[in-house]
Amino acid sequence: MGVVNVTPDSFSDGGQWFQPEDAVAHGRVLRQQGADVLDVGGESTRPGAQRPTQEEELRRVLPVVEALCAVAPVSVDTMRAAVAAAALDAGASLVNDVSGGLADPEMVPLVAERGVAYVAMHWRGHSARMQSRARYDDVVADVLRELGERVEQLLGAGVRPEHLVLDPGFGFAKTPEHSWELLRRLEELTALGHPVLVGTSRKGFLGAVGRAAGAERAPLERDVATAVTTVHAATHGAWGVRVHDVVATLDALDVAETLAGGPR
């Protein structure tokens, strides 16, 4: 899943693809590089980010979704049902909701009615305050329990089980230690019986690993670390990975598969 951020403030590449024509060109490049799905989002969910208005999110997302649907399957990364509905009308085939339907009560009825694939992430609140909620007894057990409860609610509301993908929410209401523990025990998450999407790309916990305090790698310097986590995800049951650098991701997977006994 290649990331197309149509935002001025995303933590990794905010502003770089903010103009619709630039975002469309970037999405086409990601597709040529091997992305299976293009994930288009108009709201930054970095820690502390403020939300755009619904009108602004629609303005950012719709022309990009419409254009990229001509070249690849498109996912819309949104917490708003109105944005998801408009993107689906424009040709998107998957909704990637970091709130798992908790931010907008209209989201779950929408995806159930439309019968589309739906990524539901583990979520404890909006970006402006989520890190204050990074408290767990056992992060994996707690995330499993909370995601499991959410799955029951989603299925009860009419979302079909074969359409549901789960995301443990690396970096969302998680400390670096929490994110590493979730990665180490990734196979426990697949025990819930649904595909798992891993979104570690360029996250802060990758920039800090092996570095002294104050010497963390900048987001654009985290693609090698991201590629390593991608190989780990692929060998521990993940359904997919959401990444900024498609080339590094596929190279890492090619090398890992060749070492395991054959080319991809």
Query: Which residues are part of the catalytic machinery?
Result: 203, 242
Please tell me the total number of residues recorded for the chain in this structure.
264
Strands 240-241 and 164-167: unpaired
Distance CA 63, CA 24 (A): 9
Do residues 226 and 242 touch, judged by C-beta distance below 8 A? no
Query: Dihedral of CA 209/252/178/130: which sign?
Result: positive
Do residues 75 and 95 touch, judged by C-beta distance below 8 A? yes
Phi, psi of 18 (to 5 degrees): -70, -35
| 89: its two tokens | 């009308």
